[in-house]
Structure formats: structure tokens, C-alpha cells
């Protein structure tokens, strides 16, 4: 466990497909860049497979023309933004390009929007976002809500592991003025060694002891005095249910840990979990 305090991102990357659905994510990226005095890198990736498609009109197959048009549009859209901005337009596979550009600019946060299936009225993460949250070593913020103000209420999903500590530290650095709550879901074991005589009261006592140790060992929580919320059940079920009933601006979750709040969820049911949360979600992959 490191004792150094997590610092806010010095550079933020906003990945956009130039559609209107990215507007909310752009507003949040600008707000965060302003809040942390960070540089904002705005990236649009021209997918190489689409550029080469014979179904496109001839003018759209010219990569240089497409790059120029995208560059001009983004520059025009960002001309009134009051933060340092760099526009990047590249061709390739979106996730690979996003990670390459993020590393080249020393980015500490990647911001992305979501798609929506207008026919069904449901949220669709999209292949790029799904891949990004699974494999990016840089925290990914998936934006859903309108960005009227800095985050005021943050809920960090935790199993009190080192992976959870990393996600809590990064979430705290991103929203240092927000009220912070820790969410912990646990289940009664049905079989196996040590399961006899274990009930919800015993598990809650164990969780409370872990929580106290976790908070004491996390420097960023020294003055935060976070509320700890305990729920009996599976985290990917209990977490969305809790968020739907309480005012939460941002959910922070790590992808690994003792039980891994998103370890299995970011496999086959990634879309189900992330789509079921009405709030913005910050996904942090455990490092090391």
C-alpha cells in the first residue's frame, strides 16, 4: 500500500464520435478540466475500416479530407471553451488510438459518452466504451448526466481491497469537494469451509472492522469522514438499486479486488451493470 496522496489529472482526454450524444460528456470534460486546471485533449478517431468502405461516397473515402473536416468542426465547437484544448484527429482502431494518444499526452482520465437506442429508449454503451473500460489502465469516466456543476455526491463501490483503495483515491482526487460514501455489498456463504454459523450480523461486524481499517489506511479519507453503506446481496444487483433511490452524482468502481465489484460484471454483463446506473460512472482498473 502506497502512502502518497493521489493527485488530480493534469490532462484529460475526451473521446468523441462527433454525434450529439457526446455533448454531455464534453460538458463534463470541460468542467473537470476547468476545475483541475488540466489540459483537455479532444480526440476523434476515423475508423480505418469505415474509411476504406466502398459503400461510402467517394468524398468520404479521402482520409485527409475527413481529418480536415473533423478538425475544423471540433475547433469551431471548442472555440469558446475557457480551458487549454488540443484537438487530435487520427485514423485507426478507436480503442488502440485512444490509449496511444492518452499515453502520449500523459492523460490521467479518459472521458466518454454513451449511445442510446432511440427505438427502445435504452442506453447502449457501444463496443468502443465496453472495450475501453475492460482494458484501459487509465481511469475511464462514462458520462450520462447533464453537467450543471462539479460532482457533489460520490458513491464508491468497495470490497475494502487494495484495488478498491486505488479507485477510491482516484475518485476522491477527481471530486475533492464532494461528499463521499462507501458502498459495500456482501452475501452469506452457502457452503464451504467457515460458512457454518455465519449470518448477516457476523458478516456485517467483519465488514465494519474491514471498513475501519480501510479508511484508516487511505490518506485521502483522513478528513472525508465517509459514510459506509452495507447491503446484503450481490453488488451488481444492490448497487443500481441503491443509486436509483438516493441522490448520487458519480459512482466509482474498480474492476478487480477481493470479490471485484466489476470483475465479472465487466465481462458478459458489462452493459447490464453500467446501463442500469443512471449516474456517471468512473471505472478504475487495478494497477499491479
| Pairwise pLDDT comparison (209 vs 188), residue with the higher score | 209
Under the banding of pLDDT at 50, 70 and 90, the label for residue 132 is: confident
If asked whether residues 115 and 188 sit together in one domain, one would say no
| 227-262 CB burial, b ≥16 within 10 A, e <16 | ebbbbeeebbebbbebbeeeebbbbbbbbbbebbbb
* DSSP secondary structure, 169-193, as one string: HHHHHHSTTSEEEEEEEE----SST
147 is a domain residue: no
User: pLDDT value at position 117?
Assistant: 42
Average pLDDT over residues 232-236: 84
Kind and range of the H or E element at 31?
helix 23-36
Confirm whether 68 is domain-assigned.
yes
138 shares its domain with 157: no
Same domain, 52 and 79: yes
Residue 119 placed within a domain: yes
Instruction: Please list the alpha-helical segments (H only) found in 37-181.
Output: 48-51, 63-77, 94-104, 127-135, 162-174
pLDDT higher than 50, residue 204 = yes
Q: 250-273 pLDDT, tens per residue?
A: 999 887 645 555 544 443 334 456
Identify whether residues 137 and 39 lie together within a single domain.
Answer: yes
Sign for the CA dihedral angle at 156, 113, 127, 246 comes to positive
Is 220 a residue whose pLDDT tops 90?
no
Same domain, 103 and 159: no
Question: Which of 142, 175, 208 represents a domain boundary (last residue)?
Answer: 142
**pLDDT for position 216:** 93
159 and 278 both lie in a single domain: yes
DSSP 266: T
Cβ neighbour number for residue 128 with a 10 Å cutoff: 18
Neighbour count for residue 131 (Cβ, 10 Å): 18
| pLDDT, position 74 | 86
In this structure, the answer to whether residues 187 and 278 fall within a common structural domain is yes
Question: What is the sign of the dihedral through the CA atoms of 115, 118, 123 and 127?
Answer: negative
Contact 157, 214 (CB under 8 A): no
Q: Euclidean distance between the first and final Cα of the chain, in Å? A: 11
In this structure, the answer to whether residues 157 and 255 fall within a common structural domain is: yes
How much is the pLDDT for 226? 93
The answer to whether residue 85 sits within a structural domain is yes
Are both 101 and 185 inside the same structural domain?
no
Label residue 131 by pLDDT band (50, 70, 90): confident
Confidence of residue 126 (pLDDT cuts 50, 70, 90): low
pLDDT, mean over the chain: 81
Per-residue pLDDT band for 236 (boundaries 50, 70, 90) equals confident
pLDDT of residue 173: 94
72 & 179 share domain: no
Which residue, 84, 107, 142, sits at the end of a domain?
Answer: 142
C-beta of residue 130 within 8 angstroms of C-beta of residue 106: no
How many domains does the chain contain in total? 2
Domain termination residue (choose one: 88, 114, 142): 142
| Element containing residue 30 per DSSP (H, E) | helix 23-36
Q: Is residue 6 part of a domain?
A: no
**CATH code of the domain covering residue 110:** 3.40.50.620
45-81 residue pLDDT tens: 887 765 554 455 554 455 677 788 888 888 888 888 8
Domain of 90 in residue numbering reads as 11-142
Amino acid at each position: 500500500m502506497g502512502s502518497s496522496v493521489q493527485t488530480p489529472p493534469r490532462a484529460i482526454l475526451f473521446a468523441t464520435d462527433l454525434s450529439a450524444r457526446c455533448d454531455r460528456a464534453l460538458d463534463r470534460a470541460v468542467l473537470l478540466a476547468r476545475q483541475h486546471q488540466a489540459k483537455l485533449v479532444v480526440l476523434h478517431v476515423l475508423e480505418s475500416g469505415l474509411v476504406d468502405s466502398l459503400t461510402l461516397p467517394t468524398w468520404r473515402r479521402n482520409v485527409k479530407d475527413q481529418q480536415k473536416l473533423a478538425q475544423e468542426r471540433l475547433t469551431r465547437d471548442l472555440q469558446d471553451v475557457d480551458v487549454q484544448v488540443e484537438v487530435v484527429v487520427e485514423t485507426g482502431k478507436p480503442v488502440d488510438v485512444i490509449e496511444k494518444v492518452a499515453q502520449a499526452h500523459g492523460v490521467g482520465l479518459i472521458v466518454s459518452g454513451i449511445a442510446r437506442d432511440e427505438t427502445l429508449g435504452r442506453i447502449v454503451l457501444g463496443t468502443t466504451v465496453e472495450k475501453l473500460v475492460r482494458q484501459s489502465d487509465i481511469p475511464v469516466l462514462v458520462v450520462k448526466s447533464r453537467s450543471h456543476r462539479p460532482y457533489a455526491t460520490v458513491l464508491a463501490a468497495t470490497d475494502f481491497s487494495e484495488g478498491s483503495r486505488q479507485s477510491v483515491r482516484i475518485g476522491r482526487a477527481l471530486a475533492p469537494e464532494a461528499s463521499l460514501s462507501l458502498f459495500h455489498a456482501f452475501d452469506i456463504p452457502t457452503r464451504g469451509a467457515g460458512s457454518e454459523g455465519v449470518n448477516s450480523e457476523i458478516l456485517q461486524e467483519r465488514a465494519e472492522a474491514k471498513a475501519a481499517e480501510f479508511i484508516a489506511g487511505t490518506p485521502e479519507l483522513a478528513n472525508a469522514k465517509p459514510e459506509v453503506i452495507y447491503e446484503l446481496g450481490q453488488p451488481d444487483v444492490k448497487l443500481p438499486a441503491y443509486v436509483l433511490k438516493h441522490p448520487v452524482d458519480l459512482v466509482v468502481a474498480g474492476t478487480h479486488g477481493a470479490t471485484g465489484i466489476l470483475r465479472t460484471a465487466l465481462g458478459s454483463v458489462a452493459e447490464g451493470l453500467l446501463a442500469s446506473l443512471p449516474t456517471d460512472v468512473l471505472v478504475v482498473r487495478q494497477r499491479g
